Chains A and B, each alone.
Chain A
Amino acid sequence: MSARVGTYLAAPVMAFLIALCVTPLLILFAYSFFRVDFVAISYDPSFANYAKIAGSATYRGLILKAFGSGALVAAITAVIGYPVAWFIAKRAGAMKSALLTLLLVPLYSGDLVRVFAWRVLLGAEGVINRSLIWAGVTDAPIQGLLFSPLATHIALTYNYLPFMVIGLWLAFESLDDAWLEAAADLGAKGPSRFARVVLPLTSPGLIAGGLMVFVMVVGDYLTPQLLGGASGITVISAINDLFGTAFDWPLGSAIAWTMLAILMAFFALGAVLIRRSSLVGGA
C-alpha cells in the first residue's frame, strides 16, 4: 500500500525528468540519423552522420583529444588528490571541516571568474611572468604560459581537483588505520603498503572521483576556449559550431551521441569495477 503511494508521489518527479531530460536527448538521438539538405533538414534516416564521424580524421582527433584530456586531468588530480585527501581524513583533526570548506570555496565562484583569474596569473603581463622577469629568470615573458594546452590543463586540474579529493577523502575516511599497521607489521614498507593496501581499499573513491573529473573535463567548453588559444578547439566547440554557425543539427547530434555513448560505457565500466572491488556488497 505505502509502496504504491510512494510510486504515485514519485510520478511528478519522473514526469519532470522524462520531459526535460530524457526527451531532448531522444530528439537529439533521432536527429542524428537525419541529414541536412541545403538549409532544410531532410527526414530520411541513415547512418551517414556516424559514418562521417568515423571517416573524418578531424572529428576522430577531436573526440580522442577530449577523452585524452579527461584521462590526463583525472590522472593528475589523482596524484595531487591522494596526499591531500589522506591529510584531510587522517591528519587534519579539528581542521577537517575548515579544510573541506576551503576545498569547495572556489566552486562557489563562477567558472568565468576562475578562468579569468588564471589569465591574470599566466598572461604575458601576468603575475608569474612578471615575477620571473623581476627575479631575472627570463628576460622576456614566456608566451607559452597562456593560450596553450598547458594553460588549459592547469586550469582544468584546478577546477576539478575538489571532486577527486572529495571522492578519495570519503574512501580514506572508511580506511581503518589498523590495516596499515597490519601491513607494516607484516613487513610492508611505505610504497608496498600503498600499492597493496591503500590503493585497492580506496579504489572506489578513486574510480568515482576519476569518473567525475573525466566527464566534466570532457564536457568543459569554457576553459579551453578562453585559455587554450589556438588549441582551444574541442569536440564540444565543434558541436556548438555545427548547431549554431553551420546549422548541421544532425551531424552535431551524432557527435553528441557518440560522446554520450562512450561516456556511458566508461560509467558502466566504473560501476563494474567498484562492484568487483569487494568493498561494496561482497559475501
Chain B
Amino acid sequence: MPLLRARALCKTYGTVQAVRGVNFRLDENSYVTLLGPSGCGKTSILRMIGGFEEVSSGLLELDGAKLNDVAASARPVNTVFQSYALFPHLSVLENVGFGLRYKGVGRAAIREKARAALETVQMGAMADRRPRQLSGGQQQRVALARAIVNEPRLLLLDEPLSALDRRMRKDMQIELKDLQRRLKMTFLHVTHDQEEAFALSDRIVVMRDGIIEQQGAPDAIYRRPETAYVADFIGGAACVPGRIASQAAEGYRIETALGQFAAPGVAGLRPGAEAVLCLRPEQLRIDPEGPIAARVTHVVYRGAEWLVELEAAGVALALTTAHDAIPEIGADLRLGFDPAQVWIARAETGEAAQ
C-alpha cells in the first residue's frame, strides 16, 4: 500500500484552476520531488497535503484513510516552510520542542528529544539562541529539526533551499538526502530547480499548468521524456517538430525540417502523428560529414565548456563544446548526432502520463 495517494485532486481559487485533477502516489521511505515552474500548482498540492488549503475536489489518502477533512493539527505530516516560519519569541530549543507537547511527551523528554533533533542537523550549539540570531542556513536546519522531531509519516518541504546561496544549497541537498536515508521517512519536496530534483529524488513528478506532465525515476525522466515540454524543461533539449513517418526497428522514423531520422521514442506514437525529435546540447557535435547544416548565432562561455547556439532550417539548436574548438558567430557548420542516443517525444503536452 502506498503511503499517500492523490486521486483526481483539484484546487480552484475563485475561477483559477491551480491544480486540475492530478493522480500520484508516494511510497514509504522515498524522496519525491514535485518539479515545475512557479504557478504550476506544485505548492498548492503540498499545502493541500499539509492541511493549509482545502481540497476543492478529488481524494487524498494517507495510509489508506481519507485525509481531505482531517485538520492540519491532526495530520501525521510536518512541513518545512519556505520562509522557515520559526517562532521569533521562542528559543531554538523551544521551537524544536513546540510540537512534542501535543504528542503527550513529558517536559524533560521534550528537551531531550529536541536536543537530539538539533544534533541531527548539527545545530546543538545554537539551542539557546533566538531564530533572528541565526543565518538563513541555520534557520533552515532548525526548521528541519522542528519538523522531523515529531517523527511524521510524511515530511513536506516547500522550496526549502530557495533562499540559500548556491554553495549552501549544494551542501544542504546532500544533507537532506542523507537525512532521508537515515530516518527512513518519506520526503515530499517542492522545487522549480531540476538540478535539485535530480540530486535528491527517487522519483520526480513534473508539473505544468496544474497537471502532471510525467512522473518517474530521475533517469527515466531525463532519458525518456514523454513530452516536448519535459524534454525542454528537464534536459534543455531542442525539440525539432516533425511527423512520424513509420515505425522502425530502433523505434520510429521521423520526418523533420532537418531531414528524416530513425530514433527510439515514447511508446504509442502512430505513423502520421505529430512528434518532436529531442536533441540535447551534449548529444549534438560538430561533424563535417553530419546530416544537418547550421549557422552559429551565439557563443556563450560557461566555464567548463562553451555553449554554441545555432540555427538550422528555422530550428534553434545548441551544442556544448570544449575550449579548443570554438566556432565563430555566423560560421556555417555541419552537425551530427548518434540517433540511438536521442529521443522522440510527443509534441502535445498533456495529462499524458498516468
Where the two chains meet, the residues of A that have a C-beta atom closer than 8 Å to any C-beta of B are 176, 178-179, 181-189, 192, 196-197, 200-201, 277-279, 282-283
A176 touches B83 (CB 8 A): yes
Q: A176-B85, A197-B87, A201-B89 are in contact. Are A182 and B79 (CB under 8 A)?
A: yes
Number of interface residues of B (CB under 8 A): 28
CB distance from B76 to the nearest CB of A (A): 10
- Interface locus among B14-22, B96-104, B228-236, B332-340: B96-104
Q: Scoring B residues 118 to 162 as 1 if CB is less than 8 Å from chain A, else 0, what string do you get? A: 000000000000101100000000000011001000000000000
Contact flags B28-46 to A (C-beta < 8 A → 1, else 0): 0000000000000000000
B81 at the interface (CB under 8 A from A): yes
- Shortest C-beta distance, B189 to chain A (Å), equals 16
Which of B71, B81, B150 touches A181 (beta carbons < 8 Å)? Answer: B81
CB-CB < 8 A to B87: which residues of A?
Answer: 179, 182-183, 197, 201
For the A-B complex with A179-B87, A185-B78 known, give 5 more contacts whose Cβ atoms are closer than 8 Å: A185-B147, A186-B73, A186-B78, A187-B102, A282-B130
The answer to whether A279 and B51 have CB atoms under 8 Å apart is: no
Identify 14 residue pairs between A and B in the complex whose beta-carbon atoms are under 8 Å apart, listed by A's number: A183-B98, A184-B73, A185-B52, A185-B78, A185-B99, A186-B73, A186-B78, A186-B98, A186-B150, A188-B102, A189-B71, A201-B89, A277-B89, A282-B130
B72 within 8 A of A: yes
Does B99 lie within 8 Å of A186, measured CB to CB? Answer: yes
- B72, A278: Cβ atoms closer than 8 Å: no
Interface contact B52-A187, CB-CB below 8 Å: no
Q: How far is the CB of B190 from chain A (nearest CB, A)?
A: 15
B47-80 vs A, Cβ < 8 Å mask (1 yes, 0 no)? 0001110000000000000000001111001110
Contacts of A188 in B (CB 8 A): 73, 98-99, 102
Q: Which residue of A lies closest to B89 (CB)?
A: A200
Query: B: which residues have CB within 8 A of A?
Result: 50-52, 71-74, 77-79, 81, 83, 85-89, 98-99, 101-103, 130, 132-133, 146-147, 150
A279 to B86, CA, bound (A): 13
Q: Check if B72 sits within 8 Å of A181, measured CB to CB.
A: yes
| Cα separation A157 to B333 with both chains bound (whole Å) | 84
Given contacts A179-B87, A181-B52, contact A282 B99 (CB under 8 A): no
